[in-house]
Amino acid sequence: MSKRHSGNEERRALRRVCVYCGSARGDDPRFASAAEALGRALAERSIELVYGGGRVGLMGVVADATLAAGGRAHGVIPQRLHDLEVAHTGLSELYVVESMHARKVVMAQLSDAFIALPGGWGTLEELFEVTTWNQLGIHDKPVGVLNVAGYYDALLEFLAHAKARGFIRPRFAGLLRFASSIETLLATLERAPPADPR
């Protein structure tokens, strides 16, 4: 695990962050505003973006904002979606892979941490899988959720419910880190302790 020291505090070096988000913009302009702000914040911190490689929805917004602010954006897209002409053609690097499974593996390998913006089935599936990998010790990379305009409030409630019913062990309940502020979320990911898969 790569870390850097700041005073007496140990921090992870976040060189690349994977962002999961929707291929739609949703019904609230604050979702796109948050995607734009996150892309800009990553570039300003010299953190490279890794994402699903699309040009539409929040995916396109976060990539465009990263690039416009002078940052680097790496997209990973399955051949099928590439052939449907939904790939972003202006990225720093675009990886075209054979399947959705391969896409997730490559995104995880490229990244030091993961952030979910608002999204639907695909975003939730990617978010839960990478968190499960963390729980199982497959990787030791922190996972965060940017809770824009309360979008993930219901998910927070459900996770508390799952913990109360005995399906999420207490020591794993904090694997998903929620914040409504980009600055707070990035700082939380930098300071995240390693998961204990025992």
| CATH number, domain with residue 33 | 3.40.50.450
| CA gap 156, 186 in Å, rounded | 19
Q: How confident is the model at residue 9, as a pLDDT? A: 56
Take residue 135 and report the two structure tokens written for it.
């729980």
Say if 133 falls within a structural domain: yes
Domain extent at residue 85: 14-189
Say if 78 falls within a structural domain: yes
Q: Within a 10 A sphere around the Cβ of 5, how many other Cβ atoms?
A: 8
Say if 9 falls within a structural domain: no
Q: How confident is the model at residue 10, as a pLDDT? A: 72
Take residue 126 and report the two structure tokens written for it.
């990617």
Phi, psi of 106 (to 5 degrees): -65, -45
Number of domains in the chain: 1
Q: How confident is the model at residue 12, as a pLDDT? A: 85
Say if 1 falls within a structural domain: no
- Displacement of CA 188 from its chain's centroid (Å): 13
Q: How confident is the model at residue 195, as a pLDDT? A: 66
pTM for the full predicted model: 0.93
Say if 108 falls within a structural domain: yes
The whole-number mean pLDDT for each consecutive block of 10 residues of the chain, a chain of 198 residues, reads 48 94 97 98 98 97 98 97 91 96 96 98 97 94 98 98 96 95 97 73
Q: Are 54 and 35 in contact (CB under 8 A)?
A: no
Say if 6 falls within a structural domain: no
Say if 196 falls within a structural domain: no
Q: Give the pairing type, strands 9-12 and 3-6.
A: antiparallel
| CA gap 148, 103 in Å, rounded | 25
Say if 21 falls within a structural domain: yes
Q: Which has the closest alpha carbon to 175: 131, 140, 127?
A: 131
Take residue 187 and report the two structure tokens written for it.
């700082």
Q: How confident is the model at residue 198, as a pLDDT? A: 59
